[in-house]
Each structure stands twice: as C-alpha cells, then as structure tokens.
C-alpha cells in the first residue's frame, strides 16, 4: 500500500471562531486553471509571477455595465478610467466596446492618442494639466473638465491666442454624504465656488460651458451615495442654466464603484458588493426624479474603473519558502510582493493554492520577496501545507496593481491576456535589466575600469597619497 | 521512563481522536493536528525520543525532503509553548 505523503507535523490551538479554520477543509476554493488554461502551464510558459487577465470576463463586465446604464438612462456612455489599468490591450478592449478614454495626465492622454483614440473621445480630468497639454486638448477637441480657476484663465488665454471658443466643463466637489469627503479636486458646490466658475466660463466671452463632473470618492459600497450625487449635480446643472443661460453639455458622475475585493476594514466579504446595476439604478432614478418630465435628460458619462477590471485580473505566484515565525505562526514567502500588489495595503486579497494539496489548513502569513518588513500580502489567510515551488493565485488584482507596480529590487513580470477562445497573449513582456538601466547615464569619471578583472580593486595607496587627518 | 522532557501522565491525559482533534482536560484547550502531528503525539506517548519519532515518520510517510528531524523538534517546541503534554506548572 502506498504511504501517505509527508507533511510537516502541525499543531494549532483551536480558538472560538477559528475552529473551522484549522484542520482539513473540504470547501477550499481551488483555482487550478484560468479561462481553461492550467495555472502550472501558464507559469511554465510565461514565468512566475505572472499577471493574467481574462478578456472574456472584462468584456462581460463592460457589457453588463453598459446594459445597466442603458436600461436607466437614454444617453449614457462609459469612460475608461486609464489610471485603473492602462495596459494597451486592456484599454483597447474598452474602446472596442465603445468606451471613451478618461485620463488625468498628459502621459495618459498621449497613451490614448497613440492607441488611436481621437481627442474628442477623451475626457481630460486631473488637477495638474500643463499649458502644452491644454493647448493640445483644445486643438483636438477633448472633453476638458477644469479643476481650478487658474486653469480656466489659462484656457481663456489659449482660446484668445488660437482665436477659438473651446468648450470647457467643471469638476465639482459636493457633499454626497460620503466620508471622507473629497473636496481637494475641482470647485466646491456648497460654498458657491462651482457656480462662480460656471459664471466665469459662461459669461467670460472666451469659452463655452461644457459638462459638470464629480467623483465622490473611492470604493463606495453604498449605491444611494450615487443617487445623492446625481440629484445634487442635476439640481446644480439646473441652477447654472437658470443663472447663466448656458445649459451644461453633460453630467459626469465619475468612478469609485466597488469591485468584489474586500477592504481590510470590511467585515463581510467583498463578494457581497453591490452590482453595477444597483449603482445604475440609483443614478438613473435620481436623474429622472430631478428632471421636470419634459426636458430631455442631459447626456450622462460614468467613469467606472475598478468595478470593471479588478475581477478580471489574477496574479500567479510561487512559494519560495515556508517557515515558522517566532510566535509559532506559519508563514510563507512568495515571489510577488507589494511591489506588484500595491492594493494589498488596503484589500484582503484572496490567496488560493493552484492545486489541492489536501494538506492541513492553517492560518498563514503571506510575505513577498522584498527584504522589507512592509512586504506582507496577507497577515492571516487559511492555507494548506505548501511546499516551495507550489503555485498560488492571488485575486482580484486587475485594478491599480499594474499601473501602481514598482520596479523595486525585482524586475516586473509579464502580463498575459487570455482571449475568449482560450488563447494566452503576452500583453506586456517581462522586464529585462536594460529596461531599468536604459535611461541611466554614468558620468565618465565614475567608470569602474579597475574592477573589470577579479582582484584588481585599487587600494587607496595606489590611487594617491594616504590622507593624514 | 520518558526519554523526552514531556510528562507521561500529562500525555496520557490527552484525549486524541483519529481525525486529529486533541483535547487537554487539564487546561480545557483543544488543538488540531495533522497526520504527521498525530504520529508525533503517539510516539511521545509510547515513550520514543525525538530522533526515534523522526525515524518512524520516515518509515510511515513518503518523505521527499529531509527536514523531518527539524520539523519534529519544532512540533515539540510548539507543544511546550502551548503547555501541551508537560508537567503542570510548567505550561507556557
Ligand atoms: C476622476 C476619476 N474618475 C474615475 C476614477 C476611477 O475610480 P474607480 O477605479 O474607483 O472606479 C478615478 C479614480 O481615482 C478618478 O480620479
């Protein structure tokens, strides 16, 4: 008879509430393949760690959001928030599905243009637009939302120089009952600054009034908050029209819709997050209620980011070592750290073994490879006994992880996308050392000629007289 | 005579199920152990020393890497930390 496989002997003290977390659990989720491709095959072919995106899931998410909006608003358009994930392939999928680009910097603007997005399909937000960037945006008829009064003045000067009358919208901060309240971006509504700015644009004689934009915060799990912001923004649009005679061209309700990730502070699993339909319902009914029943609703833009892409991304990683900490807890070190998983600092990411080891499940600390104390992916997650070389899948990591990843100590890994037919495509190759050293310049006098041959390090005596001090 | 620093009567007092549930009636604490952990506990109860227990694990299980001695020592240390199987009053 075959002997059972050896596992390190494990002893866990049961505590109330954790009873079911130690021992053998039959209900452990496994994710041994992604869109039909075994995790082991993906890692063998493309390396580890590895970001894997599901095109099928991404298209389904976008379609679901579009349908949800279309059922509740006659003229709603999704805008892809580039900062969430601006890999070309991800952006291209969004644009193929009809989304505009929403950018917050000149670099993102350029990236969208380079991909083939026309200027008039780019929403240009952000608190730090330069003169050159604004000149280009005006020339290419981008949808600009001004962040502060100096920007409006700058746009007036650009308009005068060009002899044009560009359309300029406003970013508005408002009280939607969300904490913390985001009021550092745009013009505040309650204090009257937003109305002042709208008057300046509408009556200044150089610009046309564009749309009104607001972004109330991030990872907001309460759809009603969007109902309140939609109602407030719509009422403000009415007030602006009454005051200035100019009707805003659109309302833009920004992003911040929750993904199925779980915040560190959340008690319930993020899988219970509202669906996009619930957000769309709150927005749609608030806008209908705010209308007079006869005037057509203003076109609506929505800048959903994480809710669309987070669940479409998984990071595959490999166990490097297994150890016991001084206090007896089990810990594993894996080849992916907070350099790739920035969001691990505020989410409890799912960490799941790629194969069912059948081993003894125990609360385990998951560390990255960075040689820094802050490099912890999970303080505690129920994992079976693992061995070096075992693969793990970490999810959801589709939002912000790639764009905020750092080249720190380790080169960044490849990203692949699995198409709806189950074929994997490299959408960003793994970095090589030249990607890091390419932009560097070593001043001539710092060249280490003497270190070329082993043992040829020059001693101070050979380089000059010894200092006496 | 025990050939380890564990206390035979404390070890005998433990209620150990085949599924790896361990109850210590002296403290009221319960523990979960895996298959190899069970083997270590029964080895201790039989009075084996730690190297003897490691040898038994090599025989009973399909071992790929050779860290069994260290693993057994760590397990024993965890028992001491929890005050499991040690003389009353010496519980950690
Ligand atoms: C202006 C704007 N729109 C949209 C987004 C996307 O946010 P999220 O990914 O939370 O939906 C952000 C993110 O901060 C933003 O600043």
What span, in angstroms and rounded, lies between the C-alpha atoms of A343 and A259?
12
Tell me, using a 6 A CB cutoff, whether residue A353 lines ligand 1.
Answer: no
Is there a domain that residue A3 lies in? no
Domain count, chain B: 1
Which of B22, B34, B80, B91 to mutate: most A Cβ within 10 Å? B34
Task: Answer yes or no: do A12 and B31 touch at CB < 8 A.
Answer: yes
How far apart CA A213 and CA A210 sit, in angstroms, is 10
Handedness of CA A133, A137, A142, A143 (dihedral sign): positive
Of A261, A284, A304, the residue that ends a domain is A304
Residue B18 per-residue DSSP state? T
Contact A279, A308 (CB under 8 A): no
Residue-wise pLDDT tens digits, A99-121: 999 999 999 999 999 999 999 99
- Distance (Å, whole) CA A260 – CA A269: 8
Structural domain that includes position A214: 125-304
Residue A19 confidence (pLDDT) = 45
Contacts of B71 in chain A (CB under 8 A): 8-9
DSSP assignment letter at A347:
B
Task: Tell whether A323 is within 8 A of chain B (Cβ).
Answer: no
Instruction: Tell whether the torsion through CA atoms of A306, A308, A311 and A315 is positive or negative.
Output: negative
Buried b (16+ CB within 10 A) or exposed e, A169-185: bbbbbbebebeeebbeb
Q: What digits encode the pLDDT tens for the residues B27-59?
A: 889 999 999 999 999 999 999 999 999 999 999
Residues A288 and A380 in one domain: no
Are A208 and A351 part of one and the same domain? no
What pTM, to 2 d.p., does this model score?
Answer: 0.87
CA-nearest of A400, A259, A270 to A340 is A400
Residues A277 and A332 in one domain: no
* Domain-located, residue B17: yes
* pLDDT beyond 60 at A460: no
> Is residue A277 domain-shared with residue A165, that is, in the same domain?
yes
Write down the residue that tokens 């009603």 correspond to: A224
pLDDT: which is higher, A321 or A13: A321
The CATH number covering residue B36 comes to 1.10.10
A257 CA to centre of ligand 1 in angstroms: 9
A13 touches chain B (CB under 8 A): yes
Asked if residue A381 belongs to a domain, the reply is yes
Considering the domain boundaries, does residue B92 fall inside one?
Answer: no
In terms of C-beta density within 10 A (0-12 exposed, 13-18 middle, 19 or more buried), how is residue B12 classed?
exposed
What was the pLDDT predicted at A360?
82
Q: Are residues A250 and A216 in the same domain?
A: yes
Mutate to test the interface with B, among A2, A5, A10 (most CBs of B within 10 A): A10
Query: Which of A269, A286, A304 marks a domain boundary?
Result: A304
Asked if residue A135 and residue A283 are part of one domain, the reply reads: yes
Average pLDDT, stretch A25-29?
Answer: 50
Question: A13–B34: do the CB atoms touch at under 8 Å?
Answer: no
Nearest Cα residue in chain A from B27: A13
Mean pLDDT, range A426-449, rounded to an integer: 96
C-alpha distances in angstroms, A184 versus A50, A173, A251, A258, A299?
A: 36, 8, 20, 21, 26
Nearest CB to B33 within list A6, A11, A328 = A11
CATH number at A234 reads 3.20.20.10
Q: What is the pLDDT of residues A133-163, one digit of tens each?
A: 999 999 999 999 999 999 999 999 999 999 9
- For A272, half-sphere exposure in the C-beta direction (CA atoms, 13 angstrom radius) is 6
Same domain, A31 and A138: no
Rounded Cα–Cα distance for residues A309 and A313 (Å): 7
Does A361 map to a domain?
yes
Could you report the per-residue pLDDT of A232-246, keeping only the tens digit for each?
999 999 999 999 999
Domain holding A330: CATH number?
2.40.37.10
Residue A6 to residue B33, Cβ atoms within 8 A = no
Strands of A187-337 (E only): list them: 187-188, 208-213, 251-252, 300-302, 313-324, 330-334
Q: And the tokens for A33?
A: 């393949």
pLDDT for position B22: 94
State the complex-level ipTM.
Answer: 0.93
User: What is the number of domains present in chain A?
Assistant: 2
Whether residue A462 lies inside any domain: the answer is: no
DSSP A50: E
pLDDT at position A82: 98
Note the pLDDT tens digit of each residue in A335-353. Answer: 999 999 999 998 999 999 9
Q: Which residues of A19-31 are buried (b: 16+ CB within 10 A; e: fewer)?
A: eebbbeeeeeeeb
Residues A145 and A293 in one domain: yes
A5 touches chain B (CB under 8 A): yes
What sign does the CA torsion over B53, B58, B64, B66 have? positive
Together in a domain, A377 and A323: yes
- Per-residue pLDDT of A45-86, as tens digits, reads 999 999 999 999 999 999 999 999 999 999 999 999 999 999
Considering the domain architecture, whether residues A330 and A300 belong to the same structural domain is answered as no
Give A281-330 pLDDT, tens digit per residue: 999 999 999 998 889 999 999 999 999 999 999 999 999 999 999 888 89
Supply the pLDDT for residue A22. Answer: 46
**Is position B18 within any domain?**
yes
Q: Please tell me whether residues A142 and A282 are part of one structural domain.
A: yes
Residues A320 and A263 in one domain: no
Asked, for residue B63, whether it belongs to a domain, the answer is yes
What is the 8-class DSSP label of residue A272? G
Q: Domain limits at B56?
A: 3-82
Residue nearest to atom 12 of ligand 1 (CA): A255
């Amino acid at each position: 008879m075959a002997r059972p496989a050896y596992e390190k002997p494990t002893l866990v003290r049961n505590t109330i509430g954790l009873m079911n977390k130690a021992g053998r659990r039959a209900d452990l989720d496994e994710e041994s393949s992604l869109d039909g491709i075994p995790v082991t095959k993906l890692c063998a072919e493309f390396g580890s760690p590895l970001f894997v995106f599901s095109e099928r899931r991404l298209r389904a998410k976008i379609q679901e959001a579009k349908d949800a909006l279309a059922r509740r608003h006659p003229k709603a358009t999704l805008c892809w928030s580039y900062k969430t994930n601006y890999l070309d392939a991800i952006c291209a999928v969004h644009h193929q599905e009809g989304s505009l680009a929403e950018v917050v910097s000149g670099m993102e603007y350029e990236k969208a243009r380079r991909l083939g997005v026309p200027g008039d399909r780019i929403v240009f937000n952000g608190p730090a637009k330069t003169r050159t960037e604004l000149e280009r945006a005006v020339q290419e008829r981008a949808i600009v939302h001004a962040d502060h009064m100096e920007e409006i003045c700058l746009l007036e000067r650009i308009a005068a120089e060009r002899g044009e009358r560009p359309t300029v919208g406003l970013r508005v901060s408002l009280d939607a009952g969300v904490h913390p309240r985001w009021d550092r971006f745009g013009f505040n509504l309650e204090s009257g600054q937003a109305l002042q700015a709208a008057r300046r644009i509408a009556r200044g004689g150089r610009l046309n009034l564009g749309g009104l934009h607001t972004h109330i915060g991030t990872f907001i799990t309460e759809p009603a908050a969007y109902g309140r912001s939609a109602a407030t923004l719509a009422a403000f649009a009415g007030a602006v029209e009454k005051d200035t005679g100019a009707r805003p061209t659109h309302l833009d309700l920004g992003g911040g819709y929750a993904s199925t990730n779980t915040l560190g502070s959340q008690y319930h699993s993020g899988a219970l997050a509202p669906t996009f339909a619930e957000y769309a319902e709150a927005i749609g009914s608030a806008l209908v209620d705010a209308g007079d029943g006869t005037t057509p609703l203003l076109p609506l833009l929505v800048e959903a980011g994480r809710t669309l892409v987070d669940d479409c991304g998984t990071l595959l990683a490999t166990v490097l070592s297994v150890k016991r900490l001084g206090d007896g807890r089990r810990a594993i070190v894996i080849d992916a750290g907070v350099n790739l998983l920035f969001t691990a600092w505020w989410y409890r990411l799912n960490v799941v073994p790629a194969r069912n080891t059948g081993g003894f499940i125990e609360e385990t600390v998951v560390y990255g490879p960075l040689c820094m104390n802050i490099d912890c992916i999970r303080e505690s997650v129920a994992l079976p006994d693992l061995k070096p070389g075992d693969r793990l899948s970490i999810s959801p990591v589709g939002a912000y992880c790639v764009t905020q990843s750092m080249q720190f100590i380790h080169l960044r890994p490849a990203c692949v996308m699995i198409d709806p037919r189950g074929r994997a495509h490299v959408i960003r190759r793994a970095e090589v050392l030249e990607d890091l050293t390419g932009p560097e310049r070593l001043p001539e006098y710092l060249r280490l000629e003497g270190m070329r041959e082993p043992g040829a390090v020059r001693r101070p005596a050979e380089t000059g007289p010894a200092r006496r001090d | 005579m025990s050939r380890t620093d564990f206390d035979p009567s404390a070890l005998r007092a433990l209620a150990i199920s085949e599924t790896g549930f361990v109850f210590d009636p002296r403290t009221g604490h319960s523990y979960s152990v895996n298959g190899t952990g069970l083997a270590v506990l029964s080895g201790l109860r039989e009075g084996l020393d730690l190297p003897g227990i490691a040898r038994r694990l090599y025989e009973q299980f399909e071992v790929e890497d050779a860290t069994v001695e260290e693993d057994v020592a760590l397990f024993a240390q965890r028992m001491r930390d929890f005050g499991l199987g040690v003389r009353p009053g010496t519980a950690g």
